[in-house]
């Protein structure tokens, strides 16, 4: 049994779900949604933690691909878009998304040293990262043909699109009270 392949698949799917959660939380923060019983600082902390967790599972996804014996990826394949032995264009979307995410992590680390305007504009790249990851999962993922993966991709795309439209239309969604 090729455990590395299962780890790569699970790491990829989990990192996409976590990346989606980070984007959703970021959109809720930027929409200034009022969440009863959830102070803003807590939502910011969860947003940061989920983003870090997404990065961790991307690292697991890529690391498992490096040690997979069935379809081995080299360091070059995971760093240079378009050089992968498996669906090179589709995998390139994931490589670019991961590299952009690293750049965003650097800007977040140095956030206090950067102007707010620059940081804010750079933060919009998260939309590109998420969209590239979505295309990567749909085009390169081996589970893309399954009902559950299709439902996941459609569901996450619907939520992110709806919240993004709400964000740029200027209306903030109101969360239901927690009982």
Is the Cβ–Cβ distance between 156 and 20 less than 8 Å?
yes
Alpha-carbon distance 27 to 119, whole Å?
16
Question: Is residue 24 predicted with pLDDT exceeding 90?
Answer: yes
Quote the percentage of the chain above a pLDDT of 90. Answer: 65
* pLDDT reported for residue 72: 82
Write out pLDDT tens, residues 95-118.
Answer: 999 999 999 999 989 989 999 899
State residue 101's pLDDT score.
94
Specify the DSSP class assigned to residue 71: S
Q: How far apart are CA 105 and CA 123, in angstroms?
A: 10
What is the pTM (predicted TM-score) of this model?
0.87
What is the per-residue DSSP string for 132-153? HHHHHHHHH-TTTTSHHHHHHH
Q: Check residue 176 and give its pLDDT.
A: 53
Q: What is the pLDDT of residues 57-77, one digit of tens each?
A: 999 999 999 998 888 899 999
The average confidence (pLDDT) of the chain is 89
Distance CA 121, CA 119 (A): 6
pLDDT level of residue 2 (50, 70, 90 thresholds): confident
């Amino acid at each position: 049994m090729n455990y590395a392949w299962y780890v790569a698949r699970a790491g990829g799917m989990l990192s996409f779900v976590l990346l989606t959660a980070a984007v959703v939380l970021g959109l809720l923060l930027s929409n200034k949604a009022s969440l009863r019983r959830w102070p803003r600082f807590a939502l910011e902390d969860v947003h940061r933690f989920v983003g870090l967790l997404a990065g961790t599972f991307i690292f697991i996804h890529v690391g498992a691909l490096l040690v997979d014996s069935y379809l081995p990826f080299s360091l070059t394949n995971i760093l240079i878009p378009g050089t992968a032995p498996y669906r090179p264009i589709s995998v390139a979307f994931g490589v670019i998304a991961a590299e952009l995410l690293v750049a965003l992590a650097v800007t977040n680390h140095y956030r206090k040293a950067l102007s707010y305007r620059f940081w804010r504009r750079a933060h919009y790249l998260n939309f590109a990262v998420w969209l590239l990851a979505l295309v990567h999962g749909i085009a390169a993922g081996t589970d893309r043909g399954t009902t559950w993966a299709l439902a996941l991709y459609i569901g996450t795309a619907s939520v992110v699109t709806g919240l993004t439209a709400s964000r740029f239309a200027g209306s903030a969604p109101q969360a239901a009270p927690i009982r």
